[in-house]
Every structure is written in structure tokens, then in C-alpha cells.
Amino acid sequence: MALTLARPQTRPAAKQARAVRDPEIIDQDRYKDLLERYRGKALLVNFWATWCEPCRDEYPMLNQLAKQYAPQGLHLVGISLDDDGEMILVRRFLAKHRPVFPNYRKRPGKEEEFINAVNPRWSGAIPASFFYAADGSQIGNFVGEANREKYEAAIRTLLEKSKPSSGNSR
């Protein structure tokens, strides 16, 4: 009787996770560069982590909002606060949700410096979303959970503030 060794089956989730590119690492200097790159545009930056349940809960909504408001000029960027040891979870998360917006991962360490660079009044709690008008000014934020209605109202305000006629873009 011949013994056939079956090839190990790769689980679809793991395979899919490997196909997703790892988020680029970002620190406070690169964060400033990122904001500069988005100058002239309406920008929403969302901080999340796979270990943050409300972050996971709101992420699909953010993905929908990114698609919905992109034609009106909204740009959304996600920044994961996951640690190096959580990369498998990060890959799975991104593979599952397939975000239409770019995601970065904060370089582990120097938490306080990074938090203060984003906003010195931010406690560092997540989820946290920061709204940047076209002139680069941070015009508002959500810290903690916010429902779709609140996000949409904030996005509409952001887009209004970022219109060229409002004198806010370069």
C-alpha cells in the first residue's frame, strides 16, 4: 500500500494575510511629513490597534466612509498602534477589512512624544480620529467611540472647511 503524503493545506485566512503588505512604519517625524504630503486636502487620521475592541468595531464603518466621501475629497489614513509582536493580527485584520485607505504602524516606543506630536491635549487613548483641514490645521478630534452620524457630521464640516473657496487650501 503506497503511502501518500498530503501537502500541508494552507488556511485561506493565513494565505490572505500574507498577501497584504505590512503597514509602513511611522514615527513622529514621518507623521509630520505625512501631514505635509496631505496639505491642500481634507484629511482624517484614525489611530487604531487590533487589541482595541472599539477600534475594531468602527474600522469597517471608516472604510465605508472613506469610499463614500472620497469623491468629495476626503482622504483617510489609518495608523496602527500595534506592537511588533502583533503583526500577525495586524495582517489578518487588514486582510479581512481590505481598507481602501493607506495604513501605517507607529514605531513602538516613545509613546508620549508621539502622542504629544499629534496633539498635546490627547491622552493617547484610542480609537482616536483627528481631522485636518486643507490648510493643515487640526480642526477637531474624536477620542473614544463615535457613531456614524457623528463621523459624517464631522467629515462634512471638514470638507466644507477644506473647500478652495473657503480660502483654506494652497
Selected from 33, 36, 57, 145, the binder of other proteins by CB under 8 A is: 145
83 binds other proteins (CB under 8 A): yes
Q: Is 109 in the site for other proteins (CB under 8 A)?
A: yes
Binding mask 31-70 for other proteins (x = CB under 8 A): --------------------xxxx----------------
Question: Can you tell me which residue has the cell 500577525?
Answer: 88
Amino acid type, 113: E
What is the β-pairing status of strands 103-106 and 24-26?
parallel
Q: By C-alpha distance, which of 133, 129, 163, 118 is closest to 39?
A: 133
Distance of closest approach, residue 87 Cβ to other proteins, in angstroms: 13
159 binds other proteins (CB under 8 A): no
Q: CB-based contacts of 166: which residues, under 8 Å, 6+ apart?
A: 160
The DSSP H or E segment spanning 46 is strand 42-48
Chain residues binding other proteins by CB under 8 A are 51-54, 81, 83-86, 108-112, 115-116, 121-128, 131, 139-146, 150, 154, 157, 160-161, 166
